[in-house]
Copies of this chain bind each other. A is one copy, B any other.
Amino acid sequence: MSKDRILIVGTGAIGSFYGAALQAAGADVSAVCRSDYDAVREHGIAVESQRIGDRLFRPTQTVRTPSDYQGGAPDYLVLSVKVLEGVDRAALIRDAVGPATAIVLIENGVEIEQEIADAFPDNELISALAFVQVSRVGPGQVRHFAFGDLMFGNYPSGLGERARRLAGLLEAGGIKAKTSDNVVGARWQKCVWNAAFNPISVLGGVLDTGHILGAEGGTAFVRKVMEEICAVAAASGHPQPPGLIDQFIDSTARAPAYKTSMALDFENGRQMETEVILGNAVRAARRENVAAPSLEALYALMKMVERKADAGR
């Protein structure tokens, strides 16, 4: 059997980390790089990780755009760009998607798949959630701090042969692959945490999780926001298990305090994933006629913060 040909589109920290693992597993992994093209082409990507070992990830092909990818369409196209406003993800990958290409989305947020499913109705679509702390520390340099699991399944549901094969590759590369036949429900579950802690961490003044839960009324407010997300998830057909909110709050309170990705993005002047993490949940609430006043409040305030941040960029 020939090697699986994989093209990573968006070779930031996440794409590099999983790309390195897939290459370690023996796959033929190429990378679309934009900002770090020269460094990656010359030196590859140095991935420091206790979990998968320190590796030099040298893409088979390092290209500037998917249209430069040679040798026919890949078996898997892994899209690991941040989902930001104004980015047409379908257009970004179209040139490299062939009839047999499985599209793998490793992205945050909820309800991010339909746009890609509509654009590529005949391709297998795999939706994946990364539970990983990994950062780009320089051009072609990525450091893995903690965790690393990838949870995924087919969109809208199920678990096909291609998804299972991807799981095997990841496991061979040192990654724990958690497959799910209800990945959309899993996305909603992650959203319960993300859509609460992320915007609150920004609006509260760039706070870590400890300061959020420790503030007067902080834990009660987090709980209220999480209840609203659970209600939206249930109305969208993805009821969450009882006790989830307690579990999230307890485990966050017990874990060392840390800053959310949105707080870090804000602090560092980067665009935030407000729309996929929070905006999509708000739109789902409106669509399903679920009252979500705390989410609406967070969303309105985040749009103000974003607008001011955009003006300052």
Contact = CB atoms under 8 A, between A and B. Distances in A.
A146 interface: no
A137 interface: no
Q: Please tell me the size bucket of the interface on A.
A: 20 to 34
Given A205-B309, A309-B205, A211 B304 contact: yes
Given A293-B294, A294-B297, A301-B301, A308 B221 contact: no
Contact of A308 (B200, B205, B220, B307): B205
A301 B203 contact: yes
A205 B297 contact: no
Contacts of A303: 215-218
B293 A204 contact: no
A164 B309 CA distance: 50
A55 to B, nearest CB: 40
Contacts of A57: none
Contacts of A304: 200, 203-205, 207, 211-212, 215, 218
Interface string A214-253: 0111101100100000000000000000000000000000
A305 interface: yes
A297 B220 CA distance: 10
A300 interface: yes
Q: How many copies does the complex hold?
A: 2
Interface string A270-313: 00000000000000000000000110111111011101110000
B221 A296 contact: yes
Contacts of A305: 203-205
Contacts of A204: 301, 304-305, 308
A203 B303 CA distance: 11
A300 B217 contact: yes
A77 B106 CA distance: 66
Contact of A298 (B216, B224, B297, B299): B297
Contacts of A205: 304-305, 308-309
A99 to B, nearest CB: 39
A176 to B, nearest CB: 35
Interface string A13-42: 000000000000000000000000000000
A293 B305 CA distance: 20
A230 to B, nearest CB: 15
A96 B296 CA distance: 49
5 contacts: A205-B304, A205-B309, A215-B300, A216-B307, A297-B297
Given A206-B308, A293-B293, A294-B297, 18 more contacts: A200-B301, A203-B301, A203-B305, A204-B301, A204-B305, A205-B304, A205-B308, A211-B307, A212-B304, A215-B303, A215-B307, A216-B303, A216-B307, A217-B296, A217-B299, A217-B303, A293-B294, A294-B296
